Amino acid sequence: MARALPTITSILLTLITSGPAAAGCPGPDWDRVGYLDGNQGQPMHWIGRYGRQCAGEGQAFDRDAYLSGRRRGLENFCQPAMAYAAGAAGERYLGACPQELEPAFLDAFVAGARIHSVRRLIEQLDRQMAWYAERLQSPSTDPGRRQVFVEELTRLEERRHEFESRLDQYTERFAALDPVGP
């Protein structure tokens, strides 16, 4: 499961962080534009931006074609595996999924977001542990402080182990939400 996440995560990062063109009408294939926006989980308010961009250039905006494509794109985006990967990557959910797909999406997104949080806490603990380990190796560290540093390093290692256990639990919970896995 951990091997599949970087691939999905890197795809999501590319898709979610890209936005509509700052200027210019992206038509005339509005079905395709809608599909791409839906597949990226982009919010519905982008439709107004497209209308303004195209009107400014004297081009037509086909709302029906856009919405049709967007609906198909959202069917792909609003899947639990995509939600889990987005949450695990620390992405935000912009509320794009239709009501019938949103509950499963949100369950998986929250599971991924928990994993992201725990990973960040583990990274923070690793930095703290490195700081204490460095001080322990320094010849200038006072012998009385060394014992304090050893105790703190031991405490941090225990916390790290607890967080690793939580990470395993959250990963297992997602597997229960989506038996196919991300």
95: left (phi over 0), alpha (psi -120 to 50) or beta: left
pLDDT in tens, 3-55: 333 344 433 433 333 444 446 788 789 999 999 999 999 988 888 888 888 88
Whether 1 has a pLDDT exceeding 90, the answer reads: no
pLDDT in tens, 128-178: 999 999 988 888 888 888 889 999 999 999 999 999 998 888 877 776 655
- Number of structural domains (the chain) is 2
Say if residues 16 and 86 touch (Cβ distance below 8 Å): yes
Q: Within this chain, do residues 111 and 164 fall inside the same structural domain, yes or no?
A: yes
Residue 47 counted as domain residue: yes
Residue 178 counted as domain residue: yes
Instruction: Write down which residue in 20, 42, 77 finishes a domain.
Output: 77
Whether 127 has a pLDDT exceeding 90, the answer reads: yes
Q: Within this chain, do residues 165 and 122 fall inside the same structural domain, yes or no?
A: yes
What single letter denotes the amino acid at residue 88?
A: A
Residue 12 counted as domain residue: yes
Cβ of 29: how many Cβ atoms within 10 Å? 14
Residue 163 counted as domain residue: yes
- Rounded to two decimals, the pTM is 0.68
Whether 111 has a pLDDT exceeding 90, the answer reads: no
Question: In whole angstroms, how far apart are CA 107 and each of 59, 79, 98, 145, 168?
Answer: 41, 11, 14, 46, 17
**For the chain, how big is the Rg over CA atoms in Å?**
23
Average pLDDT for residues 85-101, to the nearest whole number? 92
Q: Within this chain, do residues 58 and 114 fall inside the same structural domain, yes or no?
A: no
By residue range, what is the domain housing residue 23? 1-77
Q: Within this chain, do residues 61 and 111 fall inside the same structural domain, yes or no?
A: no
Q: Within this chain, do residues 105 and 68 fall inside the same structural domain, yes or no?
A: no
pLDDT in tens, 62-72: 999 999 999 99
Could you give the CA distance from residue 112 to residue 86 in angstroms, rounded to a whole number?
Answer: 7
Could you give the CA distance from residue 47 to residue 67 in angstroms, rounded to a whole number?
Answer: 9
